[in-house]
Amino acid sequence: MTIDLEAALLRTGAVRDFTAEPVSDAALSRLLDVARFAPSGGNRQGWRVVVLKDPATRRALRDLYLPGWYEYLAQGAAGLVAFSPLNDPDEERAAITNAPAFAEAAAQSGGGFAEHLDSAPVLLAVFARLGDLAATDRDLDRYHLVGGASIYPFVWSLLLAARLEGLGGVMTTMATRAEPQVAALLGATDEHALAAVVALGHPAHRPGRLRRAPVEEFTTIDRLGGAPLRPPDAGR
């Protein structure tokens, strides 16, 4: 199967609702074989992938995932960007005290993607091997970001490659809220950081063209706050 690159880039949205159709190990191996060509610093390919098959392990990961998810919802309801490095710590802590209400609401409603994470046809934990990351912002007195440049292109390539198999999926980082417990569950050492959990499967609904801010809203000339770059086809 082949897909048009532009169509894939415009239409590879997050998929959280899957059919019951299983995904074969052969299909999973093929998309991982494509994704491994993603760029990484020094071509060190510091990603490590754990395929979760054991039902008990899947449930345990889901249970570790959920507290962070309810904290995320509680912060959003309070008008915060959840876990933003710029959040006021007191405001964030106050918002998080409401997380149990979201857990209770999910229990009453039957829940959604997060509560049924363990039932995704494919569930992957993606770790970064820290010794492979050229984290050039390591010594800056701010939130550290750059090391992910050697890992997240692989995750995105994985999601694009899933299109080749007729699959969809989503990357989520919520389980990092419980990284020590996830590491113990999955046999990771202190040399590894949990980068993402990826769920894959046959989409119950295929995303259409995605909606994003136009180029001129995020691209400026010569400096931040400079004149916007106005592409000639901005209306496309």
The pLDDT assigned to 6 comes to 87
The pLDDT assigned to 42 comes to 97
Q: In total, how many domains does the chain have?
A: 1
The residue type found at 200 is L
* Rounded Cα distance, 39 and 129, in Å: 15
- Is residue 128 in some structural domain? yes
Cβ atoms of 4 and 164 within 8 Å: the answer is no
The pLDDT assigned to 136 comes to 97
The pLDDT assigned to 141 comes to 95
Mean pLDDT of 41-46: 97
Angle at 148 between CA 7 and CA 205, to 5 degrees: 35
Domain, as residue range, for 138: 5-53+115-206
Q: How confident is the model at residue 15 (pLDDT cuts 50, 70, 90)?
A: very high
Mean pLDDT of 24-38: 97
Q: 195-229: per-residue pLDDT in tens?
A: 999 999 999 988 788 899 999 999 999 999 999 99
pTM above 0.85, yes or no: yes
- Is residue 224 in some structural domain? no
* Residue 21 confidence (pLDDT) above 60: yes
- Is residue 129 in some structural domain? yes
Q: If you search the block for the tokens 């180029």, which residue do you land on?
A: 215
Mean pLDDT of the chain: 95
User: Residue 42 region, left (φ>0) first, then alpha (ψ -120 to 50), else beta?
Assistant: left
* Residue 233 confidence (pLDDT) above 70: no
- Is residue 120 in some structural domain? yes
> Tokens representing 175?
């389980």
Mean pLDDT of 46-62: 98
- Is residue 225 in some structural domain? no
* Residue 74 confidence (pLDDT) above 60: yes
- Is residue 168 in some structural domain? yes
- Is residue 103 in some structural domain? no
- Is residue 148 in some structural domain? yes
* Residue 131 confidence (pLDDT) above 90: yes
Q: What is the CATH number of the domain that holds 202?
A: 3.40.109.10
Q: 150-180: per-residue pLDDT in tens?
A: 999 999 999 999 999 999 999 999 999 999 9
